[in-house]
Structure 1
Amino acid sequence: MAGLPGPFFCRALLGFVCLSGRAVEVKVPAEPLSMPVGKTAELSCSYSTSVGDSFALEWSFVQPGKPIAESQPILYYTNGHLYPTGSKAKRASLLQNPPTRGVATLKLTDVHPTDTGTYLCHVNNPPDFYTNGLGLINFTVLVPPSTPLCSQSGQTTVRGSAALRCSSSEGAPKPVYNWVRLGSSPTPSPGSMVQDEVSGQLILTNLSLTSSGTYRCVATNQMGSASCELTLSVTDPSKGRVAGALIGVLLGVLLLLIAAFCLIRFQKERRKKPKETYGGSDLREDAIAPGISEQTSVRADSSDGLLERPLSASTVTTTKSKLPMIV
């Protein structure tokens, strides 16, 4: 049975491995970094290796929630030249250029909210292949909350429930939300008012008329605060029905009064109208001329239109006029 290798053989094997290549060690901050929007950020990265002709450095970026494999390059250094690239090319540079003395810190000016994410410092120096030569930095751009949007939903009637919502489109870290009641009106009881500081939602239950009023939502993070206001109006449907019935009764009474007034006026006008009479000077079709008796009336024959007989002198009676005759 062959014996195990002795100590001399092990030391010789370890020495051969060490001579054939070294590990590339990259150091980055263990804690996440942050910087207010608009400022200049320095993402520290250092390495230890013997820089040779094949030395290469690359900085890349991946958005929050995406895998490292989808990272996009920011800049890279190779063959003695620096090549910024991508959307951050005009704002990205190295703190030391060339980065051949163990310092590969990235300098990023005028940071934007879209700069929040994970940054990768990758050093490649063949034949040092015993580590991946990679360091990861989580970076956050601090942004104050934008003016939130207030909204409401639900049944804003007595004994109903309503939900008030508040949300800012921008803010890093994520803002917390707090609702307050304005004015001197009584605040709803704690059991009927529940709010979520993370989602910005305020739930009001068992509403009453005293729940009406103005509510303010304040969004806050370490960079500042912003607020919006909302007016809640609670109505009582039962009062609305009573008022509607009362208005209907009043309208009915008013219509009856108008009808009675019109009827009374019509009766008065009818009584004032005079009856149809004939005056003494009116001439009737069957009237007889003055001074001629009824015997002088002429009868017409409807069949031939001729007179029965001529009038005789004896049948005509005249009445002398009392007025003098003028010849």
Structure 2
Amino acid sequence: MGCCGGPRLWIGCLVTSLLRSDAVKVTVRDRSLEVVRGDSVLLPCSFRTMSPLSRLNIVWTLAPLSDPGSPFQVIVYDHGQVIENPSLIGRVGFVSVPWTADIILNSTRVSDAGTYRCVVNNPPEPGDPGIGELRLDVLAPPSLPQCLWEGDADVGGTVTLSCSVEGGVPAPEMRWDKLEPEQISLPLNMEGTMKSTVCIANISAQNSGLYRCSVSNPLGTQNCYIHLSVYSPPDPSPGILQGVLLSLSMALVLLALLALVLWLHRSGRDRKWKEGEEEECYNEIRYTPTLVRRSFV
């Protein structure tokens, strides 16, 4: 049907055409937002409609950053009623519904990060619902890291220092330093974005000291520490060595004295035995002639 005819007919056709072709229009003025964990943030969503607002329907959904493929409803406005997600009750709400679809999110958490979608439908408005999207990033300082060490702390062994952190947005940077006796930066190996290690091979007593792992992002810095003690066998001191030598010398002297006593005792016994034999022999020789002479008388 054409719009030919008088001015009134032409205006009527124009209005009808606009109503048929002009669906709900949604505008999101900020496509990307950042908020510090724990603060509040306004998620904007304005719309334009030609129909009364008695049947207005607004649905906010979130595709979380941790699982983008599983979006869920955040809050709904339908025929004058507001329905909040049970997990967000008390933290989310509309600002000035039904005039705008803006919502406010309080006490933000890292899990609130992701892609938010605002869907506005206002029957009998023709056409598809209006849709707007924005991305929310929830920033957080690093959590307190955990420092551990494992390996052989004896001289010549190998020790691995590890540092891990549970959270931080943006992902924190890590650094290892030896603080004592002088500060030295150490090369590290990253295992993902939340863990780093330092390997110290063929350790010596010079590797003993205080080590620090620092994790930092624009919102803050956290540290953890390890005190490494490298065990080395004690060197014999001069006093101990002298004591050992003195003990050995005394033992040798005692052994020599004992040997001398045994030798003297044995020598004296042998001498007595020999003297006894000589005395017996002398008596036999002395009395023998007398006995012989007496035999001839």
**Residue 204 in 1 paired to residue 205 in 2?**
no
What is the TM-score when the length of structure 1 is the normalising length? 0.59
Cα distance per residue 1:202-255 (max 9 Å; x no partner): 33345443222211011111221110001223445xxx4998xx99xx7xx89x
1:195 pairs, out of 188, 197, 214, with 188
Secondary structure at 2:206's aligned position in 1? Answer: helix
Q: Return closer, same or farther for 1:164/1:50 CA change in 2, 3 Å cut-off.
A: farther
2:98 pairs, out of 100, 116, 121, with 100
- Tell me which amino acid in the other structure corresponds to 1:194: P
Q: What is the distance in 2 between the residues matched to 1:186 and 1:145?
A: 23
Q: What is the distance in 2 between the residues matched to 1:60 and 1:146?
A: 29
Where does residue 227 of structure 2 map in the other structure?
231
Where does residue 79 of structure 1 map in the other structure?
79
In the alignment, is the contact (CA less than 8 A) between 1:51 and 1:100 conserved in 2?
no
How far 1:44 sits from its partner (Å)? 1.2
Q: What is the distance in 2 between the residues matched to 1:135 and 1:66?
A: 20
- Tell me which amino acid in the other structure corresponds to 1:200: S
Secondary structure at 2:86's aligned position in 1? Answer: coil
- Tell me which amino acid in the other structure corresponds to 1:122: V
Cα distance per residue 1:30-65 (max 9 Å; x no partner): 543222222221111122222434320012223223
Q: What is the distance in 1 between the residues matched to 2:198 and 2:183?
A: 17
Q: Identical aligned pairs, as a percentage?
A: 28
Q: What is the distance in 2 between the residues matched to 1:182 and 1:152?
A: 16
Q: Return closer, same or farther for 1:222/1:131 CA change in 2, 3 Å cut-off.
A: farther
2:180 pairs, out of 183, 186, 189, with 183
**Residue 55 in 1 paired to residue 48 in 2?**
no
Secondary structure at 2:198's aligned position in 1? Answer: strand
- Tell me which amino acid in the other structure corresponds to 2:225: E
Name whichever of 141-150 and 201-210 sits farther off. Answer: 201-210
In the alignment, is the contact (CA less than 8 A) between 2:163 and 2:213 conserved in 1?
yes
Matches of residues 140-219 of structure 1 in structure 2 within 5 Å?
140-158=137-155, 160-185=157-182, 187=184, 193-196=186-189, 198=193, 199-219=195-215
How far 1:186 sits from its partner (Å)? 7.3
- Tell me which amino acid in the other structure corresponds to 2:113: T
Q: Return closer, same or farther for 1:130/1:209 CA change in 2, 3 Å cut-off.
A: farther
- Tell me which amino acid in the other structure corresponds to 1:116: A
Where does residue 138 of structure 1 map in the other structure?
135
Q: Return closer, same or farther for 1:187/1:133 CA change in 2, 3 Å cut-off.
A: same
- Tell me which amino acid in the other structure corresponds to 2:25: E
How far 1:104 sits from its partner (Å)? 1.2
Cα distance per residue 1:261-290 (max 9 Å; x no partner): 9xx7xx9xxx9xxxxxxxxxxxxxxxxxxx
Total equivalences in the alignment: 234
Structure 2 residues not aligned, in runs of 5+: 5-13, 266-297
How far 1:161 sits from its partner (Å)? 4.2
What is the TM-score when the length of structure 2 is the normalising length? 0.64
Where does residue 90 of structure 1 map in the other structure?
90
Q: Return closer, same or farther for 1:217/1:112 CA change in 2, 3 Å cut-off.
A: same
Cα distance per residue 1:116-162 (max 9 Å; x no partner): 33322111224556455222222232222221100123444555543
How far 1:66 sits from its partner (Å)? 2.0
Secondary structure at 1:200's aligned position in 2? Answer: strand
- Tell me which amino acid in the other structure corresponds to 1:76: V
In the alignment, is the contact (CA less than 8 A) between 2:51 and 2:123 conserved in 1?
no
Secondary structure at 2:214's aligned position in 1? Answer: strand
Q: What is the distance in 2 between the residues matched to 1:201 and 1:51?
A: 63
Higher strand content, 1 or 2: 2
- Tell me which amino acid in the other structure corresponds to 1:222: P
Matches of residues 1-327 of structure 1 in structure 2 within 5 Å?
18-52=18-52, 53-68=54-69, 70-96=70-96, 99-101=97-99, 103-128=100-125, 130-158=127-155, 160-185=157-182, 187=184, 193-196=186-189, 198=193, 199-235=195-231, 240=233
Higher helix content, 1 or 2: 2
Q: Return closer, same or farther for 1:111/1:131 CA change in 2, 3 Å cut-off.
A: same
How far 1:169 sits from its partner (Å)? 1.9
Q: What is the distance in 2 between the residues matched to 1:133 and 1:124?
A: 7
In the alignment, is the contact (CA less than 8 A) between 2:181 and 2:209 conserved in 1?
no
Secondary structure at 1:171's aligned position in 2? Answer: coil
Q: Which has the larger radius of gyration?
A: 1
Cα distance per residue 1:53-91 (max 9 Å; x no partner): 4320012223223245x3222221111222223211212
